[in-house]
Amino acid sequence: MKTIGLIGGMSWESTAEYYRLLNEFTRDRLGGLHSARCVLYSVDFAEIEQLQVQGRWAEAGEILAAAARSLEAAGADMVLICTNTMHKVADVVGAAVSIPLLHLADATAEAVRASGLRRVGLLGTAFTMEQDFYRGRLEAAGLDVRIPDADGRALVHQVIYEELCLGVVREESRTAYQKVIEDLVAAGAEGIILGCTEIELLIGPGDSPVPVFPTARLHAEAAVAAALSGTRDDIPATPASC
């Protein structure tokens, strides 16, 4: 099994889920006592969050690029950024190393297409929902992406940063998210992308009238499949101009 490099800590709540999922998928594929070969570089999310708010994405990108270089030096055969939002700097991170970066949006788009759906609602941070770096990549893969209205986007973003990233899961927030999902479905969404890795702590298949696509789970599953493939060349790389 090739070694999976994880850039995590954004937040550590969802990074812990990545670790669990990687090991569960490896066990399911190989059986017995098998677990995933992986290396984790966990950043300080408080530092990253401040750079996000201030729009200092280049500085944030350099922090993650340095993390990727450390993972490669530690023996990683691929890199995963364990957060949707920070894929805004995926091109910088991918260019910093000679190993492939497995893009979260690509793994998600592949799962949506495999399901036979095309029109999807996207939940995530305001950065992920409103900017083009993530939505544009999904649309380039042939998906029709819908996002909540302004009030819905504000609610989804607030719950992520003020609750889920702190490990707080509230029933009131689940109910509020369900209303946002219902509105997206009414607007034509055939499925819902949980486009923030923390949302999976709050929303599951039973909370939506249409299929949900949990991005952390899909990313981890794709990483294990790549790690168990024949060679490093089998791992889908992110183009430098993502």
Residues carrying an active site annotation: 83, 196
Per residue, the 3-state secondary structure of the chain, as one string, reads CCCEEEEECCCHHHHHHHHHHHHHHHHHHHCCCCCCCEEEEECCHHHHHHHHHCCCHHHHHHHHHHHHHHHHHCCCCEEEECCCHHHHHHHHHHHCCCCCECCHHHHHHHHHHHHCCCEEEEECCHHHHHCHHHHHHHHHCCCEEECCCHHHHHHHHHHHHHCHHHCCCCHHHHHHHHHHHHHHHHCCCCEEEECCHHHHHCCCHHHCCCCEEEHHHHHHHHHHHHHCCCCHHHCCCCCCCC
